[in-house]
Structure 1
Amino acid sequence: MIITSKNILTRKKLILAGLIIFLLAILVVGCEDEGTKADETGLGDETYQAVSDVESCGYLKAEVTIEDQEIVEVDLTEFDNKGRLKTEDYEYPEWKEAMDVLPERFVEANSSEVEIVSSATRTSNRAMQAVDRALQLSKGEEKPFDGIYMGVAEISEDGWGIALVRLEDEQITQVILEEIDEEKNFKEEEDYPYDEWQKAREELRSRFVENDSYEVDIYSGATKSSEKWKAAVKDALTKAGRE
C-alpha cells in the first residue's frame, strides 16, 4: 500500500516500502549496472525523456539532450508520493544539492553512471536510472522498460487518482490504486465509509491486470473513482513507453 498523508511513518508507508523493495529486488534496475555512455554507437541528436521506477517517496524524470554523441544537457524533475512536482520549497537541503549538481555530473561523465550525492542516495539512484533509460531510448530502444511506474490522473481541487503499475516483459503484472481527496490526503480504507469505493478499487486492480490495459469497464457505483484510476493507469503506461 502507498503511504498515507496523515503520518509519513505509518503502517501503510512501511507496507508500500516493503512491497516496492521486494518488487525492485527482482527487476533489472538501470542504476545498478555500469551505466550507459553517450559515446556508444547509435545516439541521435535530440532530447530524450524517461522516468525512474517509483519508490515510497516518489519518482524522477530526466530529459537528456544529445549532440554529436555527447550529453550536452540534463534536466531533472522529481515528484512526490502523490505525483506532485517537488519544488524549491521542498524542505530537504540535500535534495536541492542533488538536483543542482547531478545534471553537471552526467554531462561531465558523458554517462548515466556518476558519483551519488551524499545524503541524497535515493534521488541520485533514481536520476541515474532515468538518465540511463533516456540514453537507451536514444539508441533506438523501443521495448518498455521493466519496472514500477507511477501514473497520476489530472490533479484538481476535487482530488485525483494514483496508480502504481508494475510491468514485466511488457505486461501489467501488478497494480496498486490510491486516491487523493479534496483536502489533498490519501483516502483510507479504514476511514472512508463508502463500501462501493473499496470494492471498486479491488475489482479494478484485477481488471487492469487481467486485461493488460487501462481500457476496462468502470465499476458501477464508483464511476468518478473508476475514471480517475483508468486515467492514472494510462499515464503510468505512457511513462513506461507502452502507450
Structure 2
Amino acid sequence: MKRFLIPSLITALSLVLIVFMYGNSASKVHRDGTFVAASQGDKYGYVVVTLTIENDKIKNVAIKEFDGFGVEKLYDVYGAYFPILKQAHETLAKRIVEANSWQVDVFTGATGTSKKVMEAVKFALEKAKVEPSQTKYLSGTFMGVSDFTARGHAVAWVTIENDKIIKVVFEETTPSLKDGKPVLDAAGRQVWVFKGGDYPWPEFHQAKEAIAKAIIEKQTYQVDVYTGATSSSNKFIQAVQRALEWAKARQ
C-alpha cells in the first residue's frame, strides 16, 4: 500500500506546485526587472525614469529630466533657476512607490515636471507588461538627441500615431559664445543655442525639410543624407533613431 501511496502523493504535490506556479505567473501584470522610459518631449524637454518592479510592485523610481536642448537638468545647475526640482523629483518618486501607480498628485509649483514624470512611469509600466503590446510604438511626440560634439548636436521631435510616423521636426545646436568665447554653465558644460532661420548655409535648411519628408515617406530613420549637409544629416538621422527607441512599446 505504501509503495503506491508515496508516488501518488509526490504526483499530487507536483500538480499542486505546477498549478500554483502557473496561477501566479498568469496573474502577474508586469515582468520583474528594471525598465527605462521617457515621457513625450516638447520645447522644454522630457523626463526619463528608471523603474524597478518586483512581484507587480514598484520598488524604486529614479528620475532624470532634460531640457529642450537635450541637456540634463543637474540639480546644482538648474536649481539656481528652479530650486524645487530636486524636491519635486524625490516627492513624486516616493508617491509613485507608495501608490504603486503612475497616477499621483502633481507636485505644487512643478506641474509640467509632474506630468512628464507620471507619463514616463506610465510608459515604463507599459513596456514592462507580461502581455506584450499589440503595437510597435507608443503614440505621442518623442524627443531624440544625437551625440554631442564640439560643433553641436541635433534634436528631433518625432510624432507617432497608430504606429505611423506622422511628423518630424529638427533643430541643430551651435555653441553659445560671448566675446568669442564659449559660454559654460555652472557645471562647466557648453551652453547651446539653436541655429536660426538666418543660419547662412542653404543646404542645412533644405536638409531639415528633405530628411523629415523622407523619414515620413519611408517610415524609417534609415534614409539618405542630404548632399551638401552630410554632418547635419547624420545628426538628424541619429536623433530620430533615438526618438524611436524611446517610443518603443516593449523593452
The TM-score with structure 1 as length reference comes to 0.80
Structure 2 match to 1:114: 104
Partner deviation per Cα, 1:144-163 (whole Å, 9 max, x = no partner): 21010011100121100111
Deviations 1:31-52 (A, max 9, x none): xxxxxxxxx8322111111111
Query: 154, 160, 163: which one pairs with 1:167?
Result: 160
**Would you say how many aligned residue pairs link Structure 1 and Structure 2?**
203
Q: Which residue type is aligned with residue 118 of structure 2?
A: M
Q: Matched residues in 1 for 2:170 and 2:140: separation? A: 16
Partners of 2:56 and 2:64 in 1: CA distance:
23
Q: Deviations over 1:166-192 (max 9, x none)?
A: 011111100001000133210001x20
Name 2:195's counterpart in structure 1. 187
Post-superposition offset of 1:135: 1.1
> Which of 195, 198, 205 pairs up with 2:205?
198
Q: Identity rate of aligned residues, in percent?
A: 36
Q: Which residue of 1 aligns with 2:37?
A: 50
Question: 3-state DSSP class of the match of 1:216?
Answer: coil
SS at the partner of 1:102? helix
Match of 1:31 in 2: none
Q: Which amino acid aligns with 2:167?
A: Q
Any idea what SS the aligned residue of 1:179 has? strand
- Alpha-carbon distance between aligned partners in 2 of 1:77 and 1:107, rounded to the nearest angstrom: 16
Whether the 8 Å contact between 1:158 and 1:181 is mirrored in structure 2 is yes
Q: Quick check: 1:146–1:168 contact (8 Å CA) kept in 2?
A: yes
**Pairing partner for 1:152 from 124, 137, 145:** 145
Structure 1 residue runs of 4 or more that deviate by more than 6 Å after TM superposition? none
SS of 2:84's equivalent? Answer: helix
Residue 208 of structure 1 deviates from its aligned partner by 1.0
Offset of 1:242 from its aligned partner? 7.0
User: Match for 2:229 among 210, 218, 222?
Assistant: 222
Please state whether the residue corresponding to 1:181 is helix, strand or coil. strand
Q: What residue in structure 2 maps to residue 241 of structure 1?
A: 248
Deviations 1:1-56 (CA, angstroms, capped at 9, x unpaired): xxxxxxxxxxxxxxxxxxxxxxxxxxxxxxxxxxxxxxx83221111111111122
The aligned residue for residue 35 of structure 1 is: none
**SS of equivalent residue, structure 1 residue 185:** strand
Out of 67, 70, 86, the position equivalent to 1:83 is 70
Which amino acid in structure 2 is aligned with residue 74 of structure 1?
Answer: V
**Which of 118, 122, 131 is equivalent to 2:121?**
131
2: CA distance, partners of 1:111 / 1:82? 30
Equivalent position amino acid for 1:153 in 2:
S
Q: Is the 8 A contact 1:179 1:186 kept in 2?
A: yes
Deviation at 1:66, TM superposition (A): 0.8
1:95 Cα deviation after fit = 2.0
5+ long unaligned stretches in structure 1: 1-39
Structure with the greater alpha carbon radius of gyration: 2
Contact conserved, 1:208 with 1:216, CA < 8 A, in 2? Answer: yes
Q: Quick one: which amino acid aligns to residue 124 of structure 2?
A: A
Q: Given residue 48 of structure 1, which amino acid in structure 2 is its aligned partner?
A: F
* d(CA) in 2 for partners of 1:218, 1:103: 42
Contact 1:170 1:242 in 2 (8 A): no
Q: Does residue 41 of the first structure (1) align with residue 41 of the second (2)?
A: no
TM-score (ref. length: structure 2): 0.78
Q: Specify the code of the residue in structure 2 equivalent to 1:165.
A: V
The equivalent of 1:71 in structure 2 is 58
**CA contact under 8 A between 2:39 and 2:120: conserved in structure 1?**
yes
